[in-house]
Amino acid sequence: MATARAAGRAGAAAALALLWLLVCAPGEAGCRLLTVADLFDRVIRHSGRIHSLSTALYAELEKHFPPRDNELGKPARKCHTSGMLTPNGKEYAQKIPREELTHLILKLLQAWKEPLSHFNQHHQELPDDSLSKAKQISNMVHELSTGVEKVTEKMQSMGMISNSLNGMASSEATGLSIGNEADMMSDSDFIHCFRRDSNKVQSYLKILKCRIMPENSC
């Protein structure tokens, strides 16, 4: 419990740091209003880091729990977010409305907050290295979620996207029966799923950024 509390505190601190990052540009004389492009770059980078971490964690877990057979071929693998309809290709991602895409990103992140916390609490038997990664991932997902919300607000305030998704986010997020399915998965499946979703989030963020600001290094 002590470690959990410490982790919680650390997570809070990290969230604060992210908030500060989102508002203030490091290394500059003072805080200034960041452009949407800057914010996008940060959340994209952040999601990239999460993906890298999850990849590393997945590799560790595979090592720690050798697959009984071809893990990939396990037909039973089913992520708790599989039910969500997400674009599975570039063209779909480009067709979907911006608001919807934004909402999708937030939904994905939201869907992983609780299971990740749950995973951390119930997998104390994992190697320290993996456990710390898992905790880090959990915190970072919180931060990323906050960051994406920030970007969304900004875009909404600047009229880049409509305000229509506020209600959507909360209503649909509750609709997911997250907890049960996540519990049913093996550890490696769980991380595998998360890794995939983190990659989704990153890809969607990139697509979204380039759709909103096509002139900005896209």
Q: How far is the CB of 49 from another protein (least distance, A)?
A: 9
Cβ-based nearer residue to another protein, 58 or 119: 58
**Is residue 134 a contact partner of residue 119, using CB atoms and an 8 Å limit?**
yes
CB of 14 to another protein, least distance (A): 21
Verify binding: residue 52, another protein, rule CB under 8 A: yes
Site mask for another protein (CB under 8 A), range 163-202, x = bound = ---------------------------------xx-xx-x
Q: Which of 42, 80, 107, 209 binds another protein (CB under 8 A)?
A: 209
Residue 48 binding another protein, by CB under 8 A: yes
Residue 214 in the binding site for another protein (CB under 8 A): yes
Nearer to another protein, 155 or 208 (CB): 208
57-86 footprint of another protein as x/- string (CB under 8 A): -------------x-xx-x-xx---x---x
DSSP annotation string for the chain: -HHHHHHHHHHHHHHHHHHHHHHS-TTSSS--PPPHHHHHHHHHHHHHHHHHHHHHHHHHHHHHS--SS-GGG-TT---TTTTS----SHHHHHHS-HHHHHHHHHHHHHHHHHHHHHHHHH-TTS-HHHHHHHHHHHHHHHHHHHHHHHHHHHHHHTTSS-STTHHHHHHHHHHS-HHHHHHHS-HHHHHHHHHHHHHHHHHHHHHHHHHH-TTTT-
Interface residues with another protein (CB under 8 A) are 48, 51-52, 55, 70, 72-73, 75, 77-78, 82, 86, 88-91, 93-94, 196-197, 199-200, 202-203, 206-211, 214, 217-218
